[in-house]
Structure formats: structure tokens, C-alpha cells
Amino acid sequence: AQRVTQPEKLLSVFKGAPVELKCNYSYSGSPELFWYVQYSRQRLQLLLRHISRESIKGFTADLNKGETSFHLKKPFAQEEDSAMYYCALGYNTDKLIFGTGTRLQVFP
């Protein structure tokens, strides 16, 4: 069965420090991976998807099929990056399964 694991509930860093939010997945098919973000008092929204290989707000994520990982990275964290981050796996063409989320706190 498909599964998404985010091992860290909370990640705290200082402004300017590098950030890596971990995500591992289990899926027998060809995976489509996403990162969603929920800022305080805002809706959950798509941050980026692996297929587009883009950088959004300085964040990047590379799909590593060998390690079944899709870690989210940013070289220099900003205070406005503080939010809840969810890794998600698309399956059966129309559904997402979400990880349990990682709260990122960026201190000044």
C-alpha cells in the first residue's frame, strides 16, 4: 500500500540556516510527489511538485527513486518560511495521500 513518512514533527532553525524537511514514500507504481504548505491562518496550498523541477520561494525538492525520498530543501531559511509542511503522494490518477506533516520554525 502507498505510504508517506515525514519523520520530523518539528524542525527549528535560525534565520539564514539551511533547511531540509525529510519525506520518504512507499508506492509500487510510478510516483508523483508534492509538497503542500500551510502558513499560519492560511489555507493549505501547493508549494511544488517533482515533475516540474522548479524552485518556489527558494525551495527545491528532488525525487530520489533509489532512496524513495523527496526531501524539501532551502539553503537559507527566512522567518516567513515558518509553516506546516506536508509531503504528498499522488496515486490512482486522482487522489493524494499526505504525510503527517513537519512544522518548521525559523527563529530570527
Binding residues (CB under 8 A) for another protein: these are 4, 6, 9, 32, 34, 43-46, 49, 86, 88, 90, 93-101
At residue 77, φ and ψ (nearest 5 deg) are: -70, 145
Which secondary structure element, helix H or strand E, spans residue 46, and what is its range?
A: strand 45-49
Which residue's entry shows cell 527563529? 107
Residue (49 or 71) nearer to another protein, CB:
49
Q: How far is the CB of 85 from another protein (least distance, A)?
A: 11
Task: Give me the least distance between CB of 18 and another protein, in Å please.
Answer: 25
Q: Closest CB to another protein among 15 and 103?
A: 103
Least separation in angstroms between residue 66's CB and another protein is 23
Q: Burial code of 36-58, b = ≥16 C-beta within 10 A, e = fewer? A: bbbeeeeeeeebbbbeeeeeeee
